[in-house]
Amino acid sequence: MQFFISGTGTDIGKTLVTSWLCAHSNYTYFKPIQTGAIHGTDSQTVAKFSKNKIHKECYVFKNPFSPQLAAQLENTSIDIKKIHLPKSDALLVEGAGGLLVPINHNCYIIDLIKQLKLPVILVATTKLGTINHTLLSLEALRYRAIPICGVIMSGDYNLDNSAAIARYGQVEILGNLPYLKNITRSALLNIPLPNKLKKILEV
Instruction: Map residue 173 onto helix, strand or coil.
Output: strand
Q: How far apart are CA 18 and CA 41, in angstroms?
A: 14
CB proximity list for 116: less than 8 A, separation 6 or greater: 4, 83, 85, 93
Q: How far apart are CA 186 and CA 65, in angstroms?
A: 31
| DSSP one-letter code for 24 | T
Q: Which residues pair with 2 in a beta bridge?
A: 91
Catalytic residues: 31
